[in-house]
Amino acid sequence: MATVTECNYETGAGRALAFGIPTSRHFRITFNYWAPGTNGASTQYTGDFMSAKAIPQGELFSIHYNPAAPHDHNRSGGASASRSPVIVFGILGSVALSLAWFAILRGCH
């Protein structure tokens, strides 16, 4: 089980992807959990993820972690994974528009 340590509402850039496309994940949830460490003693691990709903501080929720690497859990990577495709499309669109603009300028001379 993991415990929520912070729940922060993300404003501005934290709530929008490239080109201002809004996301449904507005809350950054920070949490910690205990798992057996490499020496066998319990070790505290932390993580965070984005959520569409606020989760109150101190609330418990289920988490799954890799016993061979307890820092690797099922809540990792959620925030940045949704941004990657939009950023790639934004860069490709920018390149395409730049090439079109240069073609128009070249035709004017």
Task: Give residue limits of the domains in the chain.
Answer: 2-107
Report strand pairing: 65-66 vs 27-36.
unpaired
Band of pLDDT at residue 82, cut at 50, 70 and 90: very low
What six digits make up the tokens of 33?
Answer: 């959990």
Strand 60-61, strand 65-66: pairing: unpaired
- Cβ-in-10-Å burial (0-12, 13-18, 19+) of 80 comes to exposed
Q: At residue 81, does pLDDT exceed 70? A: no
Average pLDDT, the chain: 79
pTM for this structure? 0.58
- The pLDDT of residue 25 is 63
- How buried is 47 (Cβ within 10 angstroms: 0-12 exposed, 13-18 middle, 19+ buried)? buried
